[in-house]
Structures are given as C-alpha cells and as structure tokens.
Amino acid sequence: MLAVQEFFENSDYAVSVVDLVNHFKEEMNKATVYRILSRMESEGMIHSFNGMDGLTWYAACKHCSHDHHEDQHPHFQCKKCGRVECLEISLPIPKVKDHKIDSEIVLLVGECNNCQS
C-alpha cells in the first residue's frame, strides 16, 4: 500500500486504473492494486471518477479524511495528451424540473496548458 500512497503523493495528475496496474505490475498483481485503491478511497486518501475513455481514474484527495470524503469538483481531460487533473472550482448544481439532484459528475474536455502552444 505504501508504494501506491507514495505514487499519489508525487503526482499532480490523476491516473487511470490501467496505468496504475501497469506501473505496479512488477511488484503486485491487478487484484492487489484494486484492493489497495478501494482501501485508500475509503480512507479518504484518493477519489475516483470516470474519464472520457470510460476508464476509472484516481486522484489524490486534498482535504478529505476517512469520515469526511467529498470530492465534488469537476475534472479536466486533455484530448491531445490525455492528461487528467482535478479542478479546484465548484460548479452550481443545475435545477431540473421534477428531479432532486444531489451531486453531479462533470468531466470537462479540452486542451491543457502544454498542448495549446
């Protein structure tokens, strides 16, 4: 678990579950990586969301603990290099007639700073 923890501490970007499994394939098998990720997520160390490729992505939590785990921010995926990052902004939850909305999962897609030049 420590190796995975350190991996997230040293990364400013989100990482897909496929890349994580690949990254640790010398040290642990897929099932172990999945188990560690779900444990870290329930501890409030990381959070997960879906990328535009349909994969699950994980990113480090900044302000969460195991009893307060809330990552309502949108995520951004660059369509050129594929990098995914957390956006520290909050979007208003839209009002939809006859629906009670508790949360939203927003993925913004575009070009990152590096890819625009």
Nearer to Zn ion by Cβ, of 100 and 116: the residue is 116
Tell me which stretch binds Zn ion (CB under 5 A): 4-12, 32-40, 85-93, 96-104: 85-93
Q: Which is nearer to Zn ion, 18 or 29 (CB)?
A: 18
Q: What angle do CA 40, 41, 46 make, to 5 degrees?
A: 85
Task: Point out which residues pair with 109 in neighbouring strands.
Answer: 77
One residue of 18, 55, 105, 115 binding Zn ion per CB under 5 A: 115
Binding mask 51-80 for Zn ion (x = CB under 5 A): --------x-x--x----x-x------x-x
Hey, which residues does 15 pair with through a beta bridge? Answer: 58
Query: In sequence order, what are the beta bridge partners of 76?
Result: 85, 108
- Which residue, 29 or 114, is less far from Zn ion as judged by CB? 114
Angle at 57 between CA 101 and CA 115, to 5 degrees: 105
The minimum distance between CB 67 and Zn ion, in angstroms, equals 11
Indicate the residue among 23 and 44 with the shorter CB distance to Zn ion: 44
* CB atoms closer than 10 angstroms to residue 105: 10
Query: From the CB of 76, what's the least distance to Zn ion, in Å?
Result: 10
Tokens of 51: 């990328």
